[in-house]
Amino acid sequence: MATDFALYLRRFLTSHLAGLRGCSPNTIASYRDTFKLLIVYFRDEKSIPPGKLTLDRVDAAAIKGFLDWLENGRGNSTSTRNQRLAAISSLHTWLQSEDPARMACCQDILAIPAKKQAQPTVNHLTVEQTRGLLAQPDRSTRRGRRDATLLATLYDTAARVQELADLTVRDIRLQHPAMAALTGKGCKTRHVPLMDNTAALVAAHLAEHRLDKPGHDDHPAFFNQHGTKLSRGGIAWIIRKYQAKTNDPPLADAQISPHVLRHSKAMHLYEAGVPLPYIRDILGHVDLSTTEIYARASTEAKRKALEAAYPDVVTDDLSEWNQDPGLLEWLTNL
């Protein structure tokens, strides 16, 4: 017979997350992995088998022990620890309304604070490095043309890797103004403009594979040799493949992933003077505070702002120093 923990957990993952909230499969998988680890913790550290794990045993003290186990026993980072806590908190926020008798216990768990962590740096490429990476595919080959289009689309749209993997032919509009419809977190769709060069590459890619003909609306825009959509790992592998071919040492040694290209596009937009609300909409952020990491990280933008504010206060002309004998005498006697 299933325990109350098992019954509530199944309803939370299926009826609530998948049904009511419409969370993506990746989000549900992340929550699922958290509770798999929680069950393993009770089994291995508390000697409580899954078949006997009840809600009464899942209290604030147990959750704090679980979080410590993640960090000290499994070597998880602070961000991973906080992500697991967020999943557990989400379950208990929902559980309060499902079983009000457990509200006090739920609120004790919800009061567990996330652990503070150092502000992460935004890993991104320069414009020159990005241009060098995107120029690597051999466009004389069919595979090279596909990869060149994929990299250009990934960068130009600042898409998350799953958003690019899920992109279908119907999501692409090539008539002016060209744009791509990206479906991101929470199944929310946003429309991102495609620059002329990227739109031309996409048009040629679709025409080469005859995807611009009727009846292919639901076909993946980027696919493997079996005709199925590329996986997130497959897209990351393509990026690493072309990074390995570059002759630019800083680019070859950089930590590059699909998300780094997303960061790079955002940084380049900010440094070009695009307002943060526009960048937020392109990236699909819910809160502008999330987008503000690019403002904090942009040293170049800060330098340009200072130069614009104080253009002629400090100069590199040292002639006045040599022409002032009083100043030179004072410095000599200092």
Q: What CATH number corresponds to the domain at position 79?
A: 1.10.150
Successive 10-residue mean pLDDT values, the chain, 334 residues:
90 88 84 95 94 93 96 91 95 93 94 81 84 92 94 94 94 92 85 92 95 93 92 94 87 86 90 86 82 70 60 54 62 64
Catalytic residue among 262, 263, 265, 280: 262
Q: Is residue 333 part of a domain?
A: no
Whether 67 and 133 map to the same domain: the answer is no
The number of folded domains in the chain is 2
How far, in Å, are 40, 168, 192, 320 from residue 219 at the CA level?
40, 5, 20, 71
Does the annotation count 205 as an active-site position? Answer: no
Best CA proximity match to 260, nearest among 95, 139, 171, 133: 133
Structural domain boundaries, residue 160: 127-306
Is 219 labeled as catalytic in the residue annotation?
Answer: no
Question: What pLDDT sits at residue 304?
Answer: 61
31 is annotated as an active-site residue: no
List 124, 146, 280, 285, catalytic entry:
285
Is residue 135 assigned to a domain?
yes
Question: Are 100 and 131 contained in the same domain?
Answer: no
The predicted structure's pLDDT at residue 22: 78
Active site annotation includes 232: no
Look at residue 320 and tell me if it is in a domain. Answer: no
Residue 286 lies in a domain: yes
Q: What is the pLDDT of residue 250?
A: 81
Domain of 148: which CATH number? 1.10.443.10
What are the helix (H) ranges across the chain?
4-11, 25-45, 60-68, 78-98, 103-110, 127-134, 142-157, 161-165, 196-208, 232-245, 249-253, 258-271, 276-283, 288-291, 293-297, 299-309, 319-322, 325-333
Q: Given the residues 145, 160, 209, 268, select the one marked as catalytic.
A: 160
| Same domain as 191, residue 284 | yes
**Res 116: pLDDT:** 85
At 66, which amino acid appears? F
Assess whether 50 and 82 both reside in one domain. Answer: yes
pLDDT at residue 6 in the model: 93
Among 21, 32, 185, 191, which one carries the catalytic annotation?
Answer: 185
Residue 253 confidence (pLDDT): 81
State whether 181 and 35 are in the same domain: no
pLDDT at 18: 83
Active site residue 213: no
Mode of pairing for the β-strands spanning 189-193 and 172-173: unpaired
